[in-house]
């Protein structure tokens, strides 16, 4: 009975000594939880979760080491875990910013190429427009020149024709006057019963010399 009671007391004492240890071990570590949340924030961020894979792995291992560290090793393990988390955050932000900068540089280059292409197209279109306008002006000038030359030829031909017609009419008028004078002379011969001298032809008026002034006619009083 004594041995049995003694064993019962020892078992109860052992259980009472183990219960606080299990209760403490089961409690979550707030530092581990905070570091784990920071690491999870990187993993769930679509702008950063594709970068700093090595740094995030080191941070995750440091958190696991902190969680498994003994009481004496805990301060050093906590410091290492914080450093690893900081490094993972900085590396993920840096690489994400570098990738964004590279993307913006590529986009800027594409925009510059597109702008230069548009400028080249506008320059080609402007050059083509100027060429067409110059061609139209040249064609219009040639057309006007040809029209002027045609009009000049037509005018010269018309003036020549008028001169020919006028000369012909003048000659006809002269011949008609000569015939009329001849008829009058013959009529006079028949009336007078003898030949009549033909009337002298009118002398052409002398043309004034260039630069000479005509003499004034005497006034009748």
* Paired tokens of 74: 């805990």
Which tops the pLDDT comparison, 162 or 23?
A: 162
Asked if the structure places residue 191 within a domain, the reply is: no
Asked if the structure places residue 44 within a domain, the reply is: yes
Asked if the structure places residue 160 within a domain, the reply is: no
- Predicted confidence (pLDDT) per residue in 122-156, tens digit: 898 989 998 998 989 888 888 888 888 888 888 88
Asked if the structure places residue 170 within a domain, the reply is: no
* Paired tokens of 32: 């581990």
For 51, residues 6+ apart whose C-beta sits below 8 A from its C-beta are 91, 92, 95, 96, 99
SS3 string, 153-203, reads HHHHHHHHHHHHHHHHHHHHHHHHHHHHHHHHHHHHHHHHCCCCCCCCCCC
Q: State mean pLDDT over 156-177.
A: 80
Range(s) of the domain holding residue 47: 25-109
Single pTM value for the model: 0.45
Asked if the structure places residue 117 within a domain, the reply is: no
* Paired tokens of 12: 């109860």
Structure letter (DSSP) for residue 101: H
The total domain count for the chain is: 1
Q: State mean pLDDT over 181-192.
A: 80
Asked if the structure places residue 173 within a domain, the reply is: no
Asked if the structure places residue 75 within a domain, the reply is: yes
Return the sign of the alpha-carbon dihedral for residues 128, 134, 135, 136: positive
- Asked whether the predicted pLDDT for residue 45 surpasses 60, the reply is yes
Asked if the structure places residue 32 within a domain, the reply is: yes
């Amino acid at each position: 009975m004594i041995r049995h009671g003694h064993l019962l007391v020892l078992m109860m004492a052992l259980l009472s000594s183990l219960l606080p240890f299990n209760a403490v071990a089961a409690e979550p570590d707030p530092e581990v939880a905070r570091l784990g949340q920071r690491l999870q924030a990187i993993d769930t961020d679509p702008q950063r979760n594709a970068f700093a894979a090595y740094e995030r792995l080191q941070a995750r291992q440091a958190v696991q080491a902190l969680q498994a560290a003994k009481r004496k090793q805990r301060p050093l393990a906590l410091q290492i875990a914080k450093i690893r988390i900081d490094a993972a955050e900085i590396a993920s932000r840096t690489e994400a910013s570098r990738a964004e900068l590279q993307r913006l540089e590529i986009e800027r280059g594409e925009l510059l190429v597109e702008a230069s292409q548009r400028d080249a197209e506008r320059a080609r279109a402007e050059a083509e427009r100027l060429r067409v306008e110059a061609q139209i002006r040249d064609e219009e000038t040639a057309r006007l020149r040809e029209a002027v030359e045609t009009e000049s030829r037509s005018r010269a031909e018309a003036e020549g024709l008028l001169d020919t017609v006028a000369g012909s009419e003048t000659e006809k008028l002269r011949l008609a006057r000569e015939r009329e004078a001849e008829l009058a002379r013959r009529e006079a011969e028949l009336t007078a019963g003898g030949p009549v001298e033909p009337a002298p032809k009118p002398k052409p008026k002398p043309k004034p010399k260039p630069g000479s002034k005509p003499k004034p006619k005497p006034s009748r009083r």
